[in-house]
Amino acid sequence: MTPEEFRGLFPALREQVWLDTPGAPPGAEPVVTVMREALEGWSSGAFDWLDWDGAAARARQLFADLVGVPAGTVTTMSSLAEAAATVAASLPRGRVVVAEQDFRSNRFPWLAGHDVVSVPARDDGATRVEDLIAALDDEVVLLAVSEVTSREGQRLDLVALRAATDRVGARLFVNLTQSLGALRFDLAAVRPDYLAVHGYKWLLCPRGAAWLVTRPDRVPGLRPLAPGWKSTAAPHGYFGGTLDLAPDAARCDASPAWFSWLGAGAALRLFHAVDPARVERHVLGLAGLLTGEAAALGLRRVLGGPGSHIVVLATANANRIARSLADHGVRATALGDRVRFGFHYFNDESDVAAAVRALAAATGHGSS
């Protein structure tokens, strides 16, 4: 699927310039159609709840194929926080290292039962890979990181972090919520012990569909936070019995929110129709274009070094920029001392141009 074909799947883009996918994307028509049909079936009574209940398992296989892992290593969950909390509860007690400014869903779950080392950010607000590595020692059981940070648009060197955790015998938990769907993930090079993603951002899913991938040798140690009827091996029973956990990662499956998983399946099928390398080139190219145009207006990224598909610009005029973005029909996030733009495969150079016009108007460099 070309970028133009992909863009055509999003009705919202006919009226708006959407650069706010780091917050949430607009709905893709194939996803919305599936959910609309589910609502109509629910309303009319024509639905089959057993079919709905199988949506999470179907999405599990689609996700496993997308990432390149066996389906038996994938747990279906409702959020990143649930995935992190499940791993935290399954770990041996010890020290966990996490960036002090990481998103709270990849920070707070580790505080329960573990000695958490919070690695502070530098003066520019970003956490350095070398600082995370320096915090590792023989008492650390796990390093938890987000590949791309939504606050800075920073892309961490996961291969270097994997090598560092290997040296001290620690496990590696990687949050891909702000990257998978836009950037390629090199599973063989990173070899994470755990990989988690909430699909409602770059994977274009409804909120409430998330996945945890666990390295096969770590699966037997997984323990469900809330054991239920999905915790045992299929076929699932409903009444009585004993808690014999499923032999694979499904032992920690959440009871599925049906509509979320119906939509998730439709969304994941879109990614089986695109070339991940082409998607990554496209989004990084647009991000680079905006970075260069913004620099000409005196607006620079909050940190240097290699960028990602998320561009975060430092500014003392976030409120003025927010008003200008709204006036130009551009959806982005302006807050505090920064303004954030995110590029997906459905974005194009006209979106960059619109964002630049809004920034120019806000900074006194021009008008629309």
pLDDT of residue 365: 82
Q: Among 23, 16, 14, 28, which Cα is nearest to 345's?
A: 28
pLDDT of residue 20: 98
SS3 341: strand
194 pLDDT more than 50: yes
Chain centroid, CA 29 distance in Å? 21
pLDDT in tens, 49-78: 999 999 999 999 999 999 999 999 999 999
pLDDT in tens, 317-327: 999 999 999 99
pLDDT in tens, 212-247: 999 999 999 999 999 998 999 988 888 888 899 999
pLDDT of residue 304: 78
What is the average per-residue pLDDT within 179-192? 98
Q: Among 70, 87, 276, 73, which Cα is nearest to 185's?
A: 276
pLDDT in tens, 114-173: 999 999 988 777 788 999 999 999 999 999 999 999 889 999 999 999 999 999 999 999
Q: What tokens were used for 222? A: 């997984």
pLDDT of residue 234: 85
| Amino acid sitting at position 9 | L
- Categorize the per-residue pLDDT at 45 as very low, low, confident or very high, splitting at 50, 70 and 90: very high
Chain centroid, CA 182 distance in Å? 10
Q: Which pTM value belongs to this model?
A: 0.95
CB-CB contact of 357 with 20 (8 Å)? no
315 pLDDT more than 70: yes
pLDDT of residue 140: 97
Cβ neighbours of residue 218 closer than 8 Å, sequence gap 6 or more:
171, 193, 194
Domains of the chain with bracketed CATH? 3-27+275-363 (3.90.1150.10), 48-271 (3.40.640.10)
pLDDT of residue 186: 97
- Categorize the per-residue pLDDT at 335 as very low, low, confident or very high, splitting at 50, 70 and 90: confident
pLDDT of residue 201: 98
312 pLDDT more than 90: yes
- Phi/psi for 211 (5° steps) reads -135, 145
pLDDT of residue 368: 41
- Categorize the per-residue pLDDT at 265 as very low, low, confident or very high, splitting at 50, 70 and 90: very high
pLDDT of residue 366: 66
pLDDT of residue 69: 98
pLDDT of residue 303: 84
What is the average per-residue pLDDT within 86-101? 93
pLDDT of residue 340: 97
| Mean pLDDT, all residues of the chain | 95
